[in-house]
Amino acid sequence: MTAIVGVIASFFLMLKSDFLKAAGPRRWGNAVFIIALALLIASLSLAAAAGHWFTVAFPLRVLFILLAALAAWLEAVSLFWALPARETYLGGRETALVDRGMYALCRHPGALWLPLLLLSLALALGSAGLLWAGAVASVLNAVYVLIQDRWVFPKTIPGYAEYQTATPFLIPTRASLKRALDTTRHRQE
């Protein structure tokens, strides 16, 4: 139960950080976001370590570990490599719009990979606590990105309204997948 409370509190703090960034100096919002992220990681770790355990066959455990590793990599790419991480999470200035690569796929790719990461990790570990906490985190993350998309980012990221019309919210389309692959290839050349 403590882990679930921590997960809920972390998303409340993330939302607070976005409103702080929109209202005034970004540094305070960035500091609150880092605290929220640390609280989320600690709460999910607590959920994984505590609670009930269930048995997972070894071949399935290996499959879920591989899926979790892939999802963790995709999450890291979405949040720390595809975005200018220093400016996004530590900078004091406006965040620049990113509309290529992972962010051509959909407007919130991290929200695609987080449920896969948490579900796969919970199943790999056989942790019922992480399964529940991951489900709560995934739902809250979906609500969080919806609030960001509707009210926060249009005010804090120049060009976001046009980006909303050109790129799907969360579920990629065939066209957005093609655009994501094309812009990723051009970036590497």
Compute the distance between CA of residue 126 and CA of residue 27 in angstroms, rounded to an integer.
39
Which of residues 123 and 184 earns the better pLDDT score?
A: 123
Exposure string (b/e) for 37-52, b if CB count within 10 Å is 16 or more?
Answer: bebbeebbebbbeebe
pLDDT at 189 over 50: no
pTM for the whole structure: 0.92
Residue 18 lies in a domain: no
Residue 3 lies in a domain: no
**CA nearest neighbour of 69 among 108, 129, 7, 124:** 124
Residue 186: predicted pLDDT = 59
Residue 21 lies in a domain: no
Residue 32 lies in a domain: no
Summarize pLDDT for 87-146 with one digit per residue, the tens.
777 776 678 899 999 999 999 999 999 999 999 999 999 999 999 999 999 999 999 999
Count of domains in the chain?
1
Range of the domain at 60: 54-188
Residue 187: predicted pLDDT = 55
The predicted model gives 147-152 an average pLDDT of 96
Residue 136: predicted pLDDT = 98
**CA nearest neighbour of 160 among 110, 99, 109, 111:** 99
Helix, strand, or coil (residue 187): helix
Residue 87 lies in a domain: yes
Mean pLDDT of the chain: 93
Residue 59 lies in a domain: yes
Q: Is the dihedral of CA 11, 16, 21, 23 positive or negative?
A: positive
* Highest averaged pLDDT of the listed ranges 24-33, 106-115, 175-184: 106-115
Q: Determine what percent of the chain is predicted with pLDDT higher than 70.
A: 96
pLDDT at 188 over 60: no
Which of residues 150 and 96 earns the better pLDDT score?
A: 150
Summarize pLDDT for 29-61 with one digit per residue, the tens.
889 999 999 999 999 999 999 879 999 999 999
The predicted model gives 58-82 an average pLDDT of 97
Residue 112 lies in a domain: yes
